[in-house]
Amino acid sequence: MVDSTFSKASYGFRPKRNAWQAVRQAQIYMNSGKHWVVDIDLEKFFDKVDHDILMSRLARWVKDRHVLRLIRRYLEAEMVDKTERIKREQGMPQGGPLSPLLSNILLDELDKELERRGHAFCRYADDCNIYVSSRKAGEHLLKDISEYLAKTLKLTVNEKKSAVAQPWERKFLGYSVTRHKVVRLKVSNTSVERLKEKIRSLTTGHNSKSIKRVIEELTPILRGWISYFRYTQVKGVLGEIDSWINRKLRCLLWRQWKRPYTRAKKLMLAGLSEERAWSSACNQRGAWWNSGASHMNQAIKVAMLRRAGLLSLLEQQRQFQC
């Protein structure tokens, strides 16, 4: 019942609405000529929610006092700080079952204010982007909305993380856009780096696991990542990540082989001549250099990694488009 009254610009934690719809709508706004974004970051939102304000908004919809008391108890549930139990005087449990709905109820007031002013915006939970036609309009709006949130909801806009910028200078829900008159969606640099950090944790050092086992551990990570970013319209980065993963696995193998004798033997088994295998095995270069060298590319071909089960992000994305 409450959900049906929420703004169409609210996409987080709602039936039949998702992050992709928010990103797509943001792209539509940008391509309509709104080439400036007011990127609002609420400082420690889930920790700073004022209980009285939230309960007053909730009481507009919930008339049962027993239910309201239960929700108040949920908000005030004790937190464990090291060994001490502390009553929660503000904020709400992040990750709690009620928190997404309660956050939407509270921030619906922001949505209604932006709608009243006629702004084009997308909000996903506490992540809100407003699209305007000029920097000056954006700066004025950021100041106004910061004051509105502080006065009406006692929420603070994080000045360091919030900004008025052109869309390709920011990211929204993991996506960014190209710097063109007609913008295209792409995976943000931050999202790429986060994926690489996860992959590094599985492939760095002298990992004793078999390549097949490492690939099995990589599979759910890669599948989940490309499922979310399947709407990217800039596919070159997917091919670049694929190549980087291939090289990380070759690098891991080179480290696992350790001794020149083992390396030469493995290279010969892969089809390299004895002379070339020994020359490569004894080159005294680092593992990363060798992982990109022609002898390892010849010995550990991409097709071999695919047969071992390694997913290609680019191929997965193409399948999603079919």
Domain coordinates of the chain in residue numbers? 3-175, 189-321
Q: Which ranges in the chain belong to alpha helices (H)?
A: 19-31, 45-48, 51-58, 65-75, 99-116, 135-152, 189-203, 211-228, 236-257, 260-269, 274-281, 287-292, 294-299, 302-307, 313-321
pLDDT tens, position by position, 172-197? 999 999 998 899 999 999 999 999 99
Segment among 137-151, 201-215, 257-271, 300-314 with least mean pLDDT: 201-215
> Are 233 and 184 within 8 A, CB to CB?
yes
- Predicted TM-score (pTM) of the model is 0.89
Backbone angles phi, psi at 108, to 5 degrees: -60, -25
Q: Is the pLDDT of residue 87 over 90?
A: no
Average of per-residue pLDDT across 248-259:
96
Least confident of 62-76, 120-134, 219-233, 238-252: 62-76
Q: What is the mean predicted confidence (pLDDT) over 262-291? A: 97
Instruction: Kindly tell me if the per-residue pLDDT of 16 is higher than 90.
Output: yes
Which residues sit opposite 42 in a β-bridge?
Answer: 157
Q: Which residue has the higher pLDDT, 63 or 249?
A: 249
Indicate the pLDDT class of residue 206, thresholds 50, 70 and 90. low
Q: How confident is the model at residue 207 (pLDDT cuts 50, 70, 90)?
A: confident
pLDDT score of 83? 67
Average pLDDT, the chain: 94
Residue 76 has pLDDT above 80, yes or no: yes
Answer whether 129's CB lies under 8 Å from 36's CB: no
Residue 99 has pLDDT above 70, yes or no: yes
CA 309 to mean position of chain CA atoms: 25
CA 311/CA 81 separation, integer angstroms: 42
What distance in Å separates the CA atoms of residue 44 and residue 157, rounded to the nearest whole number?
9
pLDDT tier for residue 302 given thresholds of 50, 70 and 90: very high
Q: Is pLDDT above 70 for 112?
A: yes
Does pLDDT of 277 surpass 80?
yes
The verdict on domain 3-175 having CATH code 3.30.70 is yes
CA-CA-CA-CA torsion sign (278, 279, 283, 289): negative
The pLDDT-based confidence of 82 (bands split at 50, 70, 90) is low
259-268 contacts at long range (C-beta below 8 A, 24 or more positions apart): 266/299, 267/295, 267/299
Neighbours of 70 (CB within 10 A): 12
Model confidence at 1, in pLDDT bands (50, 70, 90)? low
Distance CA 61, CA 195 (A): 41
Give the confidence band of 4 by pLDDT, cuts at 50, 70, 90: confident
Of 217, 293, 200, 216, the C-alpha closest to 252 is 200
